[in-house]
Every structure is written in structure tokens, then in C-alpha cells.
Amino acid sequence: MALFSDDDASQYQIRSSKNMTYKVRGDMKKLLPVTTFFLGAALTAALVFLNATLDVNWRPSALASWGTGTQPASNPKTKALTELAEVLKNASMEDGTVIMTSINQAYAAPGSLLDLFLESFRVGEGTAHLLDHVLIVAVDPGALRRCRSVHRHCYLLRRSPGAVDYSGEKHFMTKDYLDMMWGRNRFQQTILELGFNFLFTDIDIMWFRNPLRHIAITSDVAIASDFFNGDPESMGNRPNGGFLYVRSANRTVEFYRRWRRARRRFPAGTNEQEILGRAQGELSRRSGVRMQFLDTAHCGGFCQLSGDMGRVCTLHANCCTGLANKVHDLRNVLRDWRNYTAAPPEDRRVGGFQWTRPGRCIR
């Protein structure tokens, strides 16, 4: 859903409640202020003025439909934007960061990915409190109802009349899938425009430790990679937008703007992740952002499975298609993690614990 038109957005500037950002040290509740605005990861088209107290009652810009850009009447748009800003404020950490994921009805069904995602926070080491800062964006009413039955912070991303129905499973690289991914990209831009930092996580990522500790304060964009080459600044890394941390700043909004414009240079049917991977050097250089690629030892997945459970923070069911396949193999991941955490400390120090091979996903 395009939350702002480019014309509307160009009139405003990003909120800065304080001219500082924060560095994570240990627990997220212990924040060290540092000067300047860091960490952002994307680009788009609009600057929103918000005052220092984030007065959500004043929103001159408006919320349009995700994906189509169709604009409903001004009052509903303003109401939707105000609602979004309020939800973000309620879920955000002290530094304005929100952990965000998205679901449809298929992913939200009992026993599906949503349940596994939430369970991983509860069984992880020092991750349960992070659920207070997780905003689940539902793309259909069925997903919203299920979200509200199991979680505190839920938001319905409304569709315009005639827009794609996102409630069912969307198969990789189909037209509906691509529309959903580019719509997600535009929604992320709006979060930045509203002055919030976000850590977007796919719903098929398990959280076992706090990954924010591994994001450098000098990074504007921190993103997972399917295959990490050992250099966190190398543009040779292959990005995975399913795990993306972005600090709100003018330069990261510009990054998103250029990212979306770059779509015109690629064949129809190219997804947003492929375009980022092929243009990330140019996009970061022209926008003035610094990108960081996260080590798969900490933020990994099925593509490059970490062998050290003592270091892993998140584990993504990437290099995998099919909802049933993901659910099956992620259940094994949670079982392996429980076995690891139930072991005596001396056994954990010795190591030797391994993930079960994701047999449905990797064959």
C-alpha cells in the first residue's frame, strides 16, 4: 500500500525528537546516547514533518492503498495515517525503533508461522521482552483477528477496492507475490517518513537472541545476507530483505526513493531484493548511506546454516518455498533450540549441538 504519494511526501521532513540516536549495549533497556542519525536501509519518496512530541493528531499527509497507489478520500487517509503513527508509538522502544513483521490469513492460522514466530521469542535467551516492541502488520481482516487474539500490537493494512487479495498463500515470484513485496517496500518507506526506525523481520524467522547487538552504530542500513562473504561492508554480499534494520533519516528515505525508481531499469517480474542486490553499491553511494551485511553466524538461515548455537541470534527459513515446508522445518528448529537450552551449562560450553537438516526445504 502506498502510504504517501510522492507529491504529498515531498512537502515534509522527517521528525527528529532529539538530535541523537542510541547504541545498544547489552539489554535494549540500557541505551547509550550518541550524536548523529544512524542506521537506515531503504529509499522512497517523501518527508513528513512531525514535531518533537510526535503529535499524531496533526498529519497533513495521507495513507493510500498498499500496492496500487489509489487514493481514497482525505478523511479516511488522515485517519489511517494517524492510527498507524499511534500504533508505532505504542510499540516503539525508547529510541523510536519498532520490530515489524507482516502476516496474511494463511501465515496467521493456528499452528502456522505466526505461532512459531512468537514462540521463538518466548523460548529465546533474553528475547521475551522484545515482544513488547513487535508490531504485526496484517494484510487482511482474518489475519488481524488472529493477531489480536495472540499479540498486543496489531495493525490492519487496508486495501483499496480492486487491490490484490493477500489473504492466501502467495507463491514465490508470482505476480501477487511481487505486488506484495513491492507494497511492503513502500510501507517500510512510510515508517521512515513518520520518523520511526524499524527492524523488519519476515514471519519465518526464529528469534533466539537479541540481534540488535550486532548492528553497528555507524551503519545506516543493516541487512541479512543469504551467503555472507566475511566482509560486512562488501557489496559482494547477497542481501536478504527479510531481515532489515533501518534508522529514520533523510538519506535513508532517499535510498528507498532511488531503490523504487531503479525498478524501471529491470525487466518486469524482478523482485525488490534482486534489484537491491544488483544496484546496492550505486544506491548507497548516491544516497550517502552506509550498509552493513550481517554475519550469518548471528543472523543466518537455511541457505547458510550456522553451526554454532552459542552465537546464533536469528534463523530464517530462506532458500525454501512453500508454507508447509517452512512450518515443518521450523518446528524442528524450535525443538533443536529447546534441547540446546535444556542441556547442562557445561555441555553447552563444550558444544557439538547441531540443527536438524531442513529436509523439506533443502533437498
CB under 8 Å to 165, separation ≥6 — which residues? 140, 159
State the residue range of the domain holding 269: 86-342
Name which of 36-45, 186-195, 264-273 the model is least confident about.
36-45
Q: Which helix (H) or strand (E) holds 80?
A: helix 74-91
- In this prediction, residue 205 carries a pLDDT of 98
Asked, for residue 173, whether it belongs to a domain, the answer is yes
Asked, for residue 187, whether it belongs to a domain, the answer is yes
Number of structural domains, the chain? 1
Asked, for residue 255, whether it belongs to a domain, the answer is yes
Asked, for residue 50, whether it belongs to a domain, the answer is no
Work out the average pLDDT over 154-171.
64
Q: How far apart are CA 47 and CA 274, in angstroms?
A: 26
pTM of the model: 0.78
Q: Using pLDDT thresholds of 50, 70 and 90, give the confidence band for residue 84.
A: very high
Place of cell 498486543: 152
CATH number of domain containing 272: 3.90.550.10
128 conformational bin, left if phi > 0, alpha if psi -120 to 50, beta if neither? alpha
- In this prediction, residue 182 carries a pLDDT of 73
Asked, for residue 278, whether it belongs to a domain, the answer is yes
Work out the average pLDDT over 124-147.
97
Asked, for residue 80, whether it belongs to a domain, the answer is no
Asked, for residue 6, whether it belongs to a domain, the answer is no
Q: Using pLDDT thresholds of 50, 70 and 90, give the confidence band for residue 160.
A: low
Asked, for residue 71, whether it belongs to a domain, the answer is no
Q: What is the pLDDT of residues 229-250, one digit of tens each?
A: 999 999 999 999 999 999 999 9
Beta strands 291-293 and 239-246 are: unpaired
Q: What is the pLDDT of residues 197-216, one digit of tens each?
A: 999 999 999 999 999 999 99
